[in-house]
Amino acid sequence: MTPTQNAARELFTELTRHAPEGIWSAPGRVNLIGEHTDYNDGFVLPFAIPHRTVAAVGRREDHRIRVASTFADEPVEVELDDLDRLFPTPTGSTPQVPEWAAYPLGVAWALRQADGIAASAAVGSGLDIAIASDVPVGAGLSSSAAIEGATASALNDLWAAGLDRPALARVGRRAENEAVGAPTGIMDQMASMLGEPDAAIFLDCRTLDANLVQVGIAEAGLAILVMDTRVKHAHSTGGYGERRAACERGAEIMGVPSLRDVSVDDLPRAQELMDDVTFRRVRHVVTENQRVLDTVRVLREGSARDIGDLLVASHASMRDDFEISVPELDTAVEAALAAGAVGARMTGGGFGGAAIALVEQDAVDRVTDAVNAAFAASGFAAPVLFTVTPSAGAHRDA
């Protein structure tokens, strides 16, 4: 048992005075490349990381659902039938339950409404759910998708709902969009559900076609270093939704359903038709889609060593065109590159969170020291740095 599994099991036992029926877990993710492309029907290339959220779960005799978490003081308990009164959370308001509880309760609500679930699952038995996690929160590593993935996997089994992994990812996204109120895309939930050791997931967010790409990072003598700036971000407020709206405006001006339908060759026309800010948002998405395709080609035909320039170009595009970086992320990327990283970029939604660097295995300590020193010199709070390897997606642990 891992410490996180133990913590979830102990919390469950403390809550119910009996053992859970099972333990399920789902990972956070790092996105190798393809940022803010998912809700534009585009391409992404994330992988699941070793950090996981664990849900210890058991059915109850009644129709109540109780959720507890090691990171909250009090459990939250509601009638299953009340879920329809609690959700969806009206746009612009905060959930009627504490935000952390809106993730697992939102999953229960969304799962009961999913297409094609077994009729008995729509009724559902009552549940006790105890959650523990070692995915850093607010670090841009999808701690929320990990909660959704662990809960959705548990409920799918205990309610015999019969949903496949992409359907469970859609349940998680619906909880995040409509219960928590964060207008995010599908990338994080798909990465958390579909992750495999040593592979990244090349996902077409229009069709949800997912293909594993062997990343070969260790084989190339390299490592992925996560540089968590500890600048907290939240996608239920502000900048994320504004960027999404700018992309929708850009697609409308171009007369297409989404920016997936705009190619690099269309950019001169886009520049003539729209204001500078909208154009730069569009240019980021269009060029980022192309960078994902280029990265997949390089990984399949060549070596992870050759994707460094694509990572660097992706960061520049997010900093200058999409304007979602912050000084701490830029400092991490610049210090890592100056210390010899092969490539580096911010990862996730931006406005804080983490960056990644592709580094020689024997340079991890040197790059770590350089990033720590650059943060200290800039007067920033110390970052947290650690390496990750592509890991397994959601599953039942016990």
Catalytic residues: 188
Considering only residues 345 to 374 of the shown chain, the ones binding ligand GAF according to CB under 6 A are: 348-349
314: three-class secondary structure by DSSP: helix
Residue 317 marked as a ligand binder: no
Q: Please, which residues have CB within 8 angstroms of residue 85's CB and are 6 or more apart in sequence?
A: none
| CA pair distance 117, 334, nearest whole angstrom | 48
Cα–Cα distances in angstroms (integers) from residue 329 to residues 90, 223, 307, 326, in the given order: 33, 19, 20, 5
Residue 143 marked as a ligand binder: yes
DSSP H helix total and E strand total for the chain: 13, 13
Asked whether position 39 contacts ligand GAF by CB under 6 A, the answer is yes
Site string for ligand GAF, 233-252 (x = CB under 6 A): --x-----------------
Residue 302 marked as a ligand binder: no
Shortest Cβ distance from residue 119 to ligand GAF (Å)?
31
Q: Closer CB to ligand GAF, residue 35 or residue 330? A: 35
| CA pair distance 37, 260, nearest whole angstrom | 8
| CA pair distance 221, 42, nearest whole angstrom | 30
Residue with tokens 């929160």: 137
Dihedral pair phi/psi, residue 363, rounded to 5°: -110, 5
Residues that contact ligand GAF, how many (by CB under 6 A)? 11
Q: Closer CB to ligand GAF, residue 9 or residue 235? A: 235
Q: Please, which residues have CB within 8 angstroms of residue 193's CB and are 6 or more apart in sequence?
A: 26, 149, 152, 153, 165, 166, 168, 169, 172, 393, 394
Judged by CB under 6 A, the residue of 24, 30, 36, 251 near ligand GAF is: 36
Q: Closer CB to ligand GAF, residue 219 or residue 242? A: 242
Residue 93 marked as a ligand binder: no
Region binding ligand GAF by CB under 6 A among candidate stretches 30-38, 75-83, 117-125, 260-268 = 30-38
| CA pair distance 132, 360, nearest whole angstrom | 33
Asked whether position 106 contacts ligand GAF by CB under 6 A, the answer is no
Residue 21 marked as a ligand binder: no
Site string for ligand GAF, 184-223 (x = CB under 6 A): xx-xx-----------------------------------
Region binding ligand GAF by CB under 6 A among candidate stretches 15-23, 162-170, 183-191, 220-228 = 183-191
Shortest Cβ distance from residue 237 to ligand GAF (Å)?
13
140: three-class secondary structure by DSSP: coil
| CA pair distance 102, 95, nearest whole angstrom | 7
Q: Which residues define the annotated binding site for substrate?
A: 35-38, 240
Q: Which residues define the annotated binding site for ATP?
A: 69, 138-144
State the residues that interact with ligand GAF by CB under 6 A: 35-36, 38-39, 184-185, 187-188, 235, 348-349
